[in-house]
Structure 1
C-alpha cells in the first residue's frame, strides 16, 4: 500500500508548493524594483559615492590644481594635526555646535509648546516662524550684518533708548561667534519648530486630561506624559541639527569672513580656503575627511545613547 509523503504545512503558513509558485513573481517584482531604483542609485553613485571616494584618494596626494601631483600618504593629515590654525578652526566649530544646538532645540521646542492647539491663529504662527527657513540664507545674513554693524539698527537702538553703544559684534573676537550663533538660530529654528509641533499634536489629549484630573500640574504633565511621547522627534531633531551645525559655512563666511583673525572660521571654511584660495586640494580633502569622521562619530554616539532616553513604545 502506497504511503502519502506529501508534507502538510502548519496552519497559517504557506506550503512548499505555494512558496515555489511565488518565486517567479518575487523575481519579477525584484527586477521591476531594480528598474525603478536604478536612476536614484545611479545618481547616488555618481554624485555622492564617487566624489567621496575621490576626496579620500586626493587627500593622500599633494594635489595642486595645476602642476605635478605627488603621493604623500597620511602627510596631509599629519600636517592638519600640527597646524595651529586648523586646531583653532576645530575648536571654533565645536564652540558653534555647543552654543547653537541646545539653543535651537530649546527655542523651537518652547515655541512649539506655546503654539499649542488652544492658541488662536496657530497656523499663522507656524507660517511666520517657518519663513526664515524658506528665505535665502544669503539675504538673511546680509540683513543681520546690517543689524550688527557699528551704527546699525541694534547700535542705534541701544544708543537712543539707553544711551549706550553696542559692542562691535562682528569686529570683536569675543562677540563674533555669539553673533553668528544668534543669526543661525533665527534662520534655522523654524524647521525643528514644525517637527516638534507635529509631534505635540500626536500626544493624546485624553492622557493629558487624565493627568490633570489626577492633580498633575503643567510641568508634571509635560515631564511624565508629553516628553516620553515626543522623544523620537527630539532625537531626530537633535541628530539632524548636530549634523548641519558641524557643516556651518554661509553665516560666518558672509557675516565675518571668518574673522576677526580666525575667531569664527569653521572647518568647512577651512576646506574652502585651502581648496579654492590656496589651491591645495589634497589638504582640503583631508580636512573634509576629518569633518566627515567627526560627524560620523558624533552621530554614532547619538544612536548608541538614544537607547537610554528615547521611548518608541509609549
Structure 2
C-alpha cells in the first residue's frame, strides 16, 4: 500500500508518501480502504518528537488517528460490520497512528451517514470521542450553562455542537477573529485569555455551572473561579489540573463506550442537520507534509483532513505523484 510516514523525528518535511507494509485487522477491529483521514495535534507532536509518547514509536511510523473508508477486512470478535460498509472512526490508541494511508485498522467506528462528506467523516473520530467523554464527565443537564475554553479548535467545534444538542447553553472562548465561527456553531463567543471572568460576567448569561478546558493555556484557576468549584471543571489539555482538584480526562480509544456511542450520536445529529465537522482545509495525501505544516502554524478553526485516492491499475502501489 502507499502511506505517509517518517523514519526520524523532525519538522513536517520528514514526512514522505510511498510504499509501506499493509496492516491487518485484529480481534475487535476492522480494516478500511481509507477515503479520508484527519490531521490532529497528537500527530504533529509525535512527528516532531515532542510528545511524551514519541519514545514508544517504532520507526518508520505512519501518523494519523482518525479515518473513514470502506471496510475490506473484518477481524475476529467483530459484530455489526461487514465488508463493503462505509464507516468512520479511529485507530487503537496504543498504535499512536496508522490512519494516513491507503489502508487503516480501526478500533472503534460507526456507520458513515450517506450524505456526510468523506473529508468530514475522516477527521471526526477522536474529536467526537474526546468531546463526548468530557461532556459525560461534566454530567451537565439540560438548561445548564457550560463554558468551553478553546471552542474553535477541532475538539472545541465538535464539543459546542454536541453540548447544544444536549440542551446546554454554551459560551465558547476563542480569538477575536473566531467569534463569528463560534457563534455559527451555536455558542455565545467571548475572547479567551486573561480577564475572562469579567468578560463572561459582562455577557449577562447568569451563573456558569460547568467549564471544559480544551485550550491548556493555563486558565484553569479562572475557570474554577467562574464555576465556583474545581469539581465543575474538566480539562483534556492541562496536566496541572489535578493539583487544583480539576479532573484531567485522557483518551482511551480502545475503550468503546464513549467512542462508539459518541460517533453514533454525531451521525444521527448529522442526519438531522444538527451536526457538521468543520473543516479548515483539505489536502491530498501526497501533500501530507504541507498539511502538517498548515495545522501547526494556522490558528485552529475546525479540522485539517487528507483525502486518499486510489491510483489507477494496481491499488496497492503508491499514490500518483507522491514523493518517496
Superposition TM-score, scaled by structure 1 size: 0.26
Which structure has the highest helix share of the two? 1
Which structure has the highest strand share of the two? 2
Larger Rg: 1
